[in-house]
Amino acid sequence: MGERKKARDMEFQSFVVGRWPRLLRTAFLLTGEQHAAEDLVQSTLEQVYVAWRKIAAADESDAYVRRMMINAHARRHRRRLKEFLAPRDDSGLVPEVADTGDRISQADDRGALLAALAQLPPRQREAVVLRYWEDLTETQTAEAMGCSVGAVKSNAAKGIAKLRAIPGLAETVTHGRRL
């Protein structure tokens, strides 16, 4: 392998190691499932590798990568590829037996939220995750989703409204977070 290519690969490897945790968390919220999240991030990073020269030179490489991941996520829905949107019974996210302990309560919250997210249409889910997890501005979210700011506002508002309307989550929100 040539020296230049080797240096580029090294740079790319550092990027992967550094961004993996954050991208995986975002992907987890988008897909609702560990393996689907890993698959989404890995395939996104493979695409990043193909365009690495261009991306490494870009001012906002993270924004670029985020957009690629959102595109990949949207594409999977369009093509109706297999994706596990809701936590499965054996995932441990939604305990079958209720418990009053804090840890279980937290698991309830997570389970309720992931289940609620899974019920949102993909664009609303993307808007909610980018706005409230990635903490992006409406403009940044619009860039990541490749749509207008108006569409972001609309999708995020509808998403939040639907989340609030889901009894389990509404209760969680009403009583505040339990840390």
**Contact positions vs another protein (CB under 8 A):** 1-5, 9, 12-13, 16-17, 20-21, 24-26, 28-29, 34, 37-38, 42-43, 45-52, 54-55, 64, 67-68, 71-72, 93, 106, 109-110, 113-114, 117, 128-129, 132-133, 135, 160, 163-164, 169, 172-173, 176-177
Query: Helices 167-174 and 149-165, interaxial angle, to 10°?
Result: 90
**At its nearest, how many Å lie between another protein and the CB of residue 128?**
7
**At its nearest, how many Å lie between another protein and the CB of residue 95?**
13
Provide the H-helix boundaries in 51-174: 52-57, 61-78, 102-118, 122-132, 138-145, 149-165, 167-174
Of 33, 81, 66, give the one whose Cα is nearest residue 134.
66
**At its nearest, how many Å lie between another protein and the CB of residue 119?**
14
CA atoms of 32 and 36, how far apart (whole Å)? 8
Q: Which is nearer to another protein, 109 or 123 (CB)?
A: 109
Of 78, 86, 143, give the one whose Cα is nearest residue 112.
86
**At its nearest, how many Å lie between another protein and the CB of residue 71?**
6
Q: Which is nearer to another protein, 43 or 119 (CB)?
A: 43
